[in-house]
Amino acid sequence: MQSLKVLLLSAAVGCGTGLPAAASSSIWYESEGGKVRLVTSGKPDTAGRIHGVLDISLKPGWKTYWRDPGDAGVPPQIDISASTNIANATFSFPPPQRHDDGSGKWAGYDHPVSLPVTFTLSAPNEPAVIVADIFLGICETICIPVQTKLTIDPGSDPDNVEDAALVKAALATLPAPARPDFGVKILPGDRATLIVEASFPGNPKAADFFVAGERDYMFGVPARSEKDGKLVFTVPILDRPTTTPTDGGLYYTLTTAAGAVEGLLPFP
């Protein structure tokens, strides 16, 4: 988003600390473009995970970013190193939309959104306190990094019906796992392009493909074309690591009028 000026001075970064909430959710932290809080379902599941959401309430006209916001955005980040009995925290992302600010296109949300977060306990049968340093971008014509610390004691209110319902609703918005008849596959390309063929039900005009640059990969905006009746997305590789990784892959989301799926692509 090159037309959005990111305010990097410390005075422009919203900072705040949420005291431990006597509930399975934190207090709201308010910024110029909206407010954020953490909400959990309270009780851990049988695998020792606490499910929650980063609840982002945006004011009209403001936006926030997907996991890969483009070359000038701020992706959501969470640091739980100050927590008690929390080993890690992982975001999941609802299907994004493509936005055009006049000088560039990027992926994100122009409406209030709840990003699911999975907190994994270090010791499943022990109490936990979540202390989360949150960093994300909320943008209008100016992109303001929002930084705050949100704290929750999930065990203090483990049966909160409203919080559990919010987490359940957020999880229901996530893309389904990709499958052979609804997903993408890589076609032969070169070191400068990632080319995928999409399979899905419904109108091709409504389909879009989002791929997240990680492990030193950076991608441009996909170009659409048709090949043998199939929709093909050609994505410029703007930057790449010196050595292609051999483990993991690239997260992608395919959105259509019939719904959305997500999966992992081999590193090109």
Q: Is the pLDDT of residue 15 over 50?
A: no
pLDDT at 4: 41
Record the pTM. Answer: 0.89
- Which is it for strands 86-91 and 97-100: parallel, antiparallel or unpaired? unpaired
Residue 143: its pLDDT value, please? 83
Q: Which of 25-39, 64-78, 201-215 shows the lowest mean pLDDT across its residues? A: 64-78
What is the sign, positive or negative, of the torsion defined by CA atoms of 240, 244, 248, 250?
positive
Q: What is 177-265's CATH number?
A: 2.60.40
Strand intervals (E) in 2-141: 5-6, 29-31, 34-40, 49-58, 63-65, 77-79, 86-91, 97-100, 105-109, 113-121, 130-139
* Cβ neighbours for 171, distance < 8 A, ≥ 6 positions apart: 51, 92, 116
Specify whether the CB–CB gap between 163 and 42 falls below 8 A. yes
The structure tokens listed for 26 are 């934190």
Banded pLDDT at 31 (limits 50, 70, 90): very high
Listed by start position, the domains of the chain span 29-174, 177-265
- For the chain, give me the number of helices (H) and strands (E)? 1, 21
Would you say residue 1 has pLDDT above 60? Answer: no
pLDDT tens by residue, 105-150: 789 999 999 999 999 999 988 999 999 999 999 988 888 899 999 9
Within a 10 A sphere around the Cβ of 241, how many other Cβ atoms?
10
CA distance 221 to 148: 31
The percent of residues above 70 in pLDDT, for the chain, comes to 90
What's the confidence (pLDDT) of residue 9?
A: 33
Which residue carries 């919203």 as its tokens?
14
Q: Is 170 helix (H, G, I), strand (E, B) or coil?
A: helix
Alpha helices per DSSP H over the chain: 161-172
The CATH number of 29-174, from 2.60.40.1250, 1.10.3720.10, 3.40.50.720, 2.115.10.20, is: 2.60.40.1250
pLDDT at 19: 46
Q: Kind of pairing, strands 176-177 and 259-265?
A: parallel
Instruction: Report pLDDT digits (tens) over 168-222.
Output: 999 999 999 999 999 999 999 899 999 999 999 988 999 999 999 989 999 999 9
